[in-house]
């Protein structure tokens, strides 16, 4: 155990810094190191961690209850592409005006999409009505 002045002299002898590691310990623990090099390494660790993390986006596909077969197939291809890119997909069936009376058509549309996507996705949120929209959330299989 050294006094503060002796530790500072020792650190300056090596051309390094005296860094307090654990201030709450009794007595406080200090370390002789190159603080600039230490901060550089910490920044590099943070940058590499940020670079390796993946960002998951939520892509939205909007449909209407009376969407024709070919258009539905095109939308399913888009959904498959989004899932292959490891993104979540929010499928929205919008009801306008008197279409809200045909919620069962929207549910059938969602079921047909689910049947087409059965092997490629996990259902995060099953189809449910939120106001005038029916929403379902899909995520890619691991």
Q: Which domains does the chain have, with CATH numbers?
A: 4-52 (3.10.20.80), 58-140 (3.30.110.10)
Angle at 57 (CA atoms; ends 51, 60), nearest 5 degrees: 165
The enclosing H or E element of 70 equals helix 69-84
pLDDT of residue 96: 93
Cα(29)–Cα(33) distance, rounded to whole angstroms? Answer: 13
pLDDT of residue 126: 93
42-57: string of b/e by CB count within 10 Å (b at 16+)? eeeeeeeeeeeeeeee
- Cβ atoms 34, 16 nearer than 8 A: yes
Q: Could you report the per-residue pLDDT of 100-139, keeping only the tens digit for each?
A: 998 999 999 999 999 988 888 899 999 999 999 999 999 9
Q: Record the pTM.
A: 0.64
Q: Given a cut of 80, is residue 142 above it in pLDDT?
A: no
Q: Could you report the per-residue pLDDT of 12-62, keeping only the tens digit for each?
A: 999 999 999 898 888 889 999 999 999 999 999 999 998 888 778 899 999
Cα(14)–Cα(132) distance, rounded to whole angstroms? Answer: 72
Q: Given a cut of 80, is residue 70 above it in pLDDT?
A: yes
């Amino acid at each position: 155990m050294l006094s503060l002045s002796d530790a500072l002299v020792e650190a300056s002898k090596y051309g390094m810094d005296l860094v307090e590691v654990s201030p709450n310990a009794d007595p406080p623990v200090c370390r002789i190191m190159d603080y600039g090099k230490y901060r550089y390494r910490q920044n590099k660790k943070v940058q590499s961690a940020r670079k390796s993390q993946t960002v998951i986006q939520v892509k939205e596909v909007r449909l209407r209850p009376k969407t024709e077969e070919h258009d539905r197939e095109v939308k399913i291809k888009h959904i498959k592409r989004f899932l292959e890119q490891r993104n979540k997909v929010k499928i929205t069936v919008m009801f306008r005006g008197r279409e809200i009376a045909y919620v069962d058509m929207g549910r059938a549309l969602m079921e047909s999409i689910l049947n087409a996507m059965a092997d490629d996705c996990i259902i995060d949120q099953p189809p449910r009505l939120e106001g005038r929209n029916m929403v379902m959330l899909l995520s890619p299989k691991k």
